[in-house]
Amino acid sequence: MTGMSEPKERKGFRAALAHKDFRLLLASLTTSGIGDWFYNIALVVYILEETSSPGWVAAAGIGRLAPYILLGSLGGVVADRFDRRKVMVTADVARAALMLALAGVVASGAPVAFAIGIAFLSTAAGTPFFPAVAAVTPSVVDEKSLAAANALITTVDSLAIALGPALGGLLLTVTASPVVAFIVNATTFGISALLLGRVSLPRVKEEERPEVVPLHHQLAEGVRAITSSTSIMLLIALLLLATFACGLEIVLYPLVSKNLLGTGAEGVGFLFAALGVGGVAAAGLANRAVAYPRPALILTAGSLMSATPFAFLPLTTSPAAAYVLVAIQGGGLILIDVLATTLMQRAVRESVMARVFGILDSIEVLATVLGAAIAPLLIESFGLKVSLLVAGGILVALTLLCVPKLFVIDRGTDRRRLELEPKVQLMSRLGIFEGMPRQSLEALAASASEEAVSGGDVLIREGDDADDFFVIRSGAMEVLSSGEAGAKQTKVRDLGAGDYAGEIGLIERIPRTATVRATLDSLVFRIGGREFVDAVSRVPSVSSALSGGIAGRLARTHPSYRPNLREKGTEVES
């Protein structure tokens, strides 16, 4: 990582922000994220003032988190099934309306149970939102900017943690009323919906949408996408460790502030602010870490950093030292989040991606609740200082359990890279793949199977349905076409080693426009049509090269046909 310079990091962030649709998405997340922290603080203050009961506060916390556990996976199904932009806008509008309803309930003096019920409904309405965000992010930036985009999204989350509670507390101090905070949060959701309404996502034609299948089948497909890959399961395990740590700190940090640091229970806001500041500070490092060829080392370091405060907080009474320790934790958490999220987005099929992240949302919140439930038991059994050490020990032990598997995957990745190198080198020399990132070329190479074609055999037959894309490794072939008039087939051109065929039917979704026949014994790489279109649609420069090539070739055989190259990111359903 030492060879990665600061200018490259800034270029990465600038490249992500150069995409208008991503800027709108990020502005939406920033606005609603900070507003949501207003709401969190105001809800706790309101319930404490009304009941003076920690039990009611706990009930409010459960009411806010339970929908993620119960409905998070279903939210992913919704985000995969319907237009994701509309899903996000609808979620924001619904939450804005519920925040206004909450303000009315509080202003009218209704029982706090009504407020908790509205909080439950608000979270439930938002369950499709974040799976949709994770799924659309690769569609609003190019492949090279994906890591930077994820780093910026996680930075926004950290900023919301750092600024939201402080601004919420200031707002409550000035207005002395949580009603205003709820109205402000409703406004932020409204602004977020307006911003998202301007985001342009590729539209999927009705005939291209997946067939409606039973809900449990859709969920099962998301589960299979996770369990079929050891790498994805390990990435999720590390994310769960991070959220488990967050659950522990929800209970432990207020006591640290009150009993160890002498800053009072209210000083916990500064600890959480330090967590956010650490995340912001580590954002650039997280962006660059994605390009590091051995992610296991970065993931291990991030997970161990997240355990740092638990190991060292018992040894200090200095607030400043505590804030530094918690900031280190924030940096570790953003490393895990950005790296794991980016790797998962690259590994998971686009058509099930929201389901995968919806399932992840559910189990992450469950891990948070588990951490919050275990913390009081630790305190009752061991006291605060020992509980912190035990919590840190649990995190370190679980991390070390994952490490051998992580490094096995790293070594396997190295072997796979060497095996794929000949295919990657050949594909990188094709004009249509110019500018495609190494990760995408490797994914295409991994899906390519080598086949022998004898001289005289037909590789592609005019009029057949388009299925696969072919790259000629060696030999020679000829392209024959009857043209749109259906005349006798004539030779259009010759193909040799390093040429390709089959892209027109796949991109345009039309039958094959020509026959490709081997004139010598040849070897070809066969790439599935779905994998080909998914890969090229994510890189604007590749899409442009394809567009020009398709227009030129069709002009020779089907001059009246107007190519309709699909926009970057459009789903492909086979």
DSSP character string of 98-110? HHHHHHHHHHHT-
Residue 49 lies in a domain: yes
Is residue 573 one of the residues assigned to a domain? no
128 and 90 inside one domain? yes
Q: Is 354 helix (H, G, I), strand (E, B) or coil?
A: helix
**pLDDT digits 0-9 by tens, 190-202:** 999 999 988 887 5
378 shares a domain with 233 = yes
Quick check: is 564 in a domain? no
Domain of 478: which CATH number?
2.60.120.10
Q: From start to end of 124-235, where are the E strands? A: none
Say which residue the tokens 């602010």 belong to: 273
Residue that wins the pLDDT comparison between 100 and 15: 100
- In the chain, the number of structural domains is 3
Question: Binning pLDDT at 50, 70 and 90, where does residue 216 land?
Answer: low
Q: Which of 394, 443, 406, 398 is nearest to 423 (CA)?
A: 443
pLDDT of residue 9: 44
Q: Judge if 169 and 247 occupy the same domain.
A: no
Contact 148, 13 (CB under 8 A): yes
Label residue 100 by pLDDT band (50, 70, 90): very high
Integer Cα distance of 64 and 140 in angstroms? 30
pLDDT in tens, 373-388: 888 888 888 888 998 9
Statement to judge: residues 87 and 53 lie in one domain:
yes
Residues 427-447 have pLDDT tens digits of 878 777 776 777 677 778 888
* 264 part of a folded domain: yes
CATH number for the domain that contains residue 267:
1.20.1250.20
Q: How confident is the model at residue 371 (pLDDT cuts 50, 70, 90)?
A: confident
Q: Is the pLDDT of residue 231 over 70?
A: yes
- Percent over 70 (pLDDT), the chain: 82
| Residue 34 shares a structural domain with residue 78 | yes
**Is-contact 102 185, C-beta < 8 A?**
no
pLDDT at 6: 40
C-alpha dihedral (210, 215, 216, 218), degrees to nearest 10: 20
Query: Is residue 564's pLDDT more than 60?
Result: no
pLDDT for the residue numbered 8: 44
pLDDT at residue number 350 = 67
Indicate if the pLDDT at residue 88 is higher than 50. Answer: yes
Interval 254-262 mean pLDDT: 83
Q: Are strands 449-453 and 476-481 parallel, antiparallel or unpaired?
A: unpaired
- Band of residue 10 on the pLDDT scale cut at 50, 70, 90: very low
Same domain, 289 and 351: yes
Structural domain boundaries enclosing 543: 429-557
Which of 370, 385, 417 is the endpoint of a domain?
417
Question: Is residue 14 domain-resident?
Answer: yes
Kindly give the residue spans of alpha helices, DSSP state H, lying in 109-145. Answer: 112-126, 129-140
pLDDT band at 162 (very low <50, low <70, confident <90, very high): low
> For residue 209, what pLDDT is reported?
46
Q: Please tell me the pTM assigned to this model.
A: 0.64
Q: Could you say which of 387, 417, 447 is where a domain stops?
A: 417
8 A C-beta contact, residue 225 and residue 348: yes
Examine residue 563 and state whether it is found in any structural domain, yes or no.
Answer: no
Q: Specify whether 363 is located in the same domain as 438.
A: no
pLDDT at 569: 38
- Window from 168-177, 280-289, 522-531 with minimum mean pLDDT: 168-177
pLDDT tens, position by position, 232-253: 888 888 888 888 888 888 778 8
Of the two residues 400 and 292, the one the predictor is more confident about is 400
Residues 457 and 323 in one domain: no
For position 543, what pLDDT does the model report? 54
The CB density around residue 562, as the number of other CB atoms within 10 Å, is 9
pLDDT on residue 459: 92
Same domain, 489 and 352: no
Determine the pLDDT at residue 477: 93
Check residue 293 and report its DSSP letter: S
Section 32-42 average pLDDT: 77
DSSP for 506-570 reads HHHT---SSEEEESS-EEEEEEEHHHHHHHHTT-HHHHHHHHHHHHHHHHHH-TT----PPPTT-
> Per residue in 471-526, pLDDT tens?
998 999 999 988 776 678 888 889 998 888 888 888 878 888 889 999 999 999 99
Do 98 and 40 lie in one domain? The reply is yes
pLDDT at residue 573 tops 50: no
Instruction: Say if 299 falls within a structural domain.
Output: yes
Question: If DSSP codes are grouped into helix, strand and coil, which group holds residue 470?
Answer: strand
Among 364, 367, 391, CA closest to 379: 391
Checking if the pLDDT of 186 tops 80, the result is yes
Complete edge-to-edge strand list for the sheet that includes strand 515-518: 458-460, 515-518, 476-481, 490-496
For residue 146, the model assigns a pLDDT of 78
Q: Residue 152: inside a domain, yes or no?
A: no
374 and 226 fall within a common domain: yes
Residues 173 and 64 placed together within one structural domain of the fold: yes
